[in-house]
Amino acid sequence: MTPTCSQPAQNRESRNELKDQLLKAMTPCNERLSPDEIQRNTPGPMLEYSYTLEDLGRYESPGYFPALANNHAKMVKIYREEIYVDRSKLVKGLCPGVKLDVFFPGFPTLKHIPYTSSLRKAKVKVFQQPSRHDSLVLSITDQGKKDVKAVALELLGKSIFVGWPHLIEARVQAVSDREVRYFLPSGGSQMAVEDVRGSMTSQWNMSKRGIQDHYLERLGVDIGETHILVHAMNMIGRKYAFGPTGKITLEKQIGLLLAGCLIFRFILSSVGIKDIVELSLISLLVLSSTAEDGEIEWVNLPAPYALQATVKDITVHDQTFVQYKSLEEVFPIGTVCFMLANPHYGAMGEVIDGGTNLRSGRVKVSLSVPEEPNLEHVVKMQQVSGNNYMMFKQSNDAASYLGISPHLLSRITGTIYIIKGAQTEYTESASKVNVGLNLKFNKKNEEIPGYTKKENTTWLYSKKAVKLVKDYINQFPELFDYLSQNKNTGNDMFFEIHIFPNERTKLSEIQTWLKEQAYSKIARQGCGSDLLDEEIVREIENTIDRFHQVGPRVKTVVAQAKPYLLYKPGLQTGSVAPDPTTTYRIFDRVVNVRESYTVPLGLKGTITGVYKFEKEVDTLYEVVFDKPFAGGLTLNCSADRGYKLPSSAMLNLSHGQRLDRSEKPVSILQPSGNSNTREGFSFTANGFRTNQQRPFMSPGGSSSRTASAFASWNVNNQQGNLRGSDGSLFGANLHDHSPVSPQTTTAQPMWNPMVLQRGVQSPSVRLQLVL
| Residue 469 domain flag | yes
For residue 714, the number of C-alpha atoms closer than 13 Å in the C-beta half-sphere is: 14
d(CA 592, CA 174): 37
Q: Do residues 49 and 132 both lie within one domain?
A: no
Cβ atoms of 425 and 506 closer than 8 Å:
no
The residues with which 757 forms a beta bridge, in sequence order, are 558, 682
| Residue 749 domain flag | no
Buried b / exposed e across 700-733, counting CB within 10 Å, b at 16+? eeebeeebebbeebeeebebbebbbeeeebbbee
Q: What is the pLDDT of residue 623?
A: 95
| Residue 624 domain flag | no
Q: What is the pLDDT of residue 580?
A: 83
Q: Residue 229: which domain range?
A: 115-309
Cβ atoms of 640 and 600 closer than 8 Å:
no
Name the amino acid, one letter, at 653. Answer: L
Q: What is the pLDDT of residue 595?
A: 87
Listed residues 309, 325, 345: the one ending a domain: 309
d(CA 406, CA 396): 6
Cβ atoms of 766 and 752 closer than 8 Å:
no
At residue 470's C-alpha, the angle toward residues 469 and 476, to 5°, is 85
Task: Give the 3-state secondary structure of residue 767.
Answer: strand
Q: Do residues 208 and 125 both lie within one domain?
A: yes
Task: Give the 3-state secondary structure of residue 93.
Answer: coil
Q: What is the pLDDT of residue 212?
A: 93
Residues of the chain with pLDDT under 70: 1-9, 187-188, 243-247, 249-300, 318-323, 355, 358-359, 385-390, 421-430, 486-492, 574, 614-615, 663-771
Q: Do residues 254 and 201 both lie within one domain?
A: yes
Q: Do residues 36 and 180 both lie within one domain?
A: no
| Residue 377 domain flag | no
Residue of 227, 78, 70, 205 lying closest to 146 (CA atoms): 227
Distances (CA, A) of 510 to 222, 439, 496, 499, 588: 44, 16, 12, 13, 42
Contacting residues for 188 by C-beta, under 8 A, at least 6 apart: none
Residue of 628, 638, 450 lying closest to 529 (CA atoms): 450
Q: Do residues 145 and 293 both lie within one domain?
A: yes
d(CA 510, CA 497): 15
Residue 696 CA, distance from chain mean position: 29
Residue 287 CA, distance from chain mean position: 23
Cβ atoms of 335 and 350 closer than 8 Å:
yes
The residues with which 282 forms a beta bridge, in sequence order, are 261
d(CA 273, CA 649): 35
Listed residues 290, 309, 328: the one ending a domain: 309
Q: Do residues 51 and 177 both lie within one domain?
A: no
Q: Do residues 280 and 226 both lie within one domain?
A: yes
Q: What is the DSSP string of 146-199?
A: PPHHHHHHHHTT-EEEESTTS-EEEEEEEEE-SSEEEEPPTT--S-EEEE--TH
Q: Do residues 25 and 124 both lie within one domain?
A: no
203: number of Cβ within 10 Å: 19
At residue 282's C-alpha, the angle toward residues 280 and 285, to 5°, is 160
For residue 166, the number of C-alpha atoms closer than 13 Å in the C-beta half-sphere is: 7
pTM over 0.85: no
| Residue 675 domain flag | no
| Count of the separate structural domains present in the chain | 3
Q: What is the pLDDT of residue 195?
A: 92
Q: What is the pLDDT of residue 250?
A: 58
| Residue 738 domain flag | no
d(CA 321, CA 332): 18
d(CA 144, CA 227): 10
d(CA 311, CA 720): 21
Listed residues 506, 531, 556: the one ending a domain: 531
Whether the bond between 3 and the residue before it is cis, its omega within 30 degrees of 0, is no
| Residue 759 domain flag | no
Q: Do residues 141 and 265 both lie within one domain?
A: yes
d(CA 270, CA 275): 7
Q: Do residues 293 and 401 both lie within one domain?
A: no
Q: Do residues 80 and 201 both lie within one domain?
A: no
DSSP state of 218: I
CA atoms 584, 589, 591, 597: torsion sign: positive
Q: What is the pLDDT of residues 701-732, one digit of tens each?
A: 333 333 333 333 333 333 333 233 333 332 33
At residue 712's C-alpha, the angle toward residues 708 and 714, to 5°, is 100
Q: Do residues 52 and 123 both lie within one domain?
A: no
Domain of 181, CATH number, reads 2.170.260.40
End-to-end Cα distance, the chain: 88
Cβ atoms of 412 and 476 closer than 8 Å:
no
Cβ atoms of 408 and 484 closer than 8 Å:
yes
| Residue 281 domain flag | yes
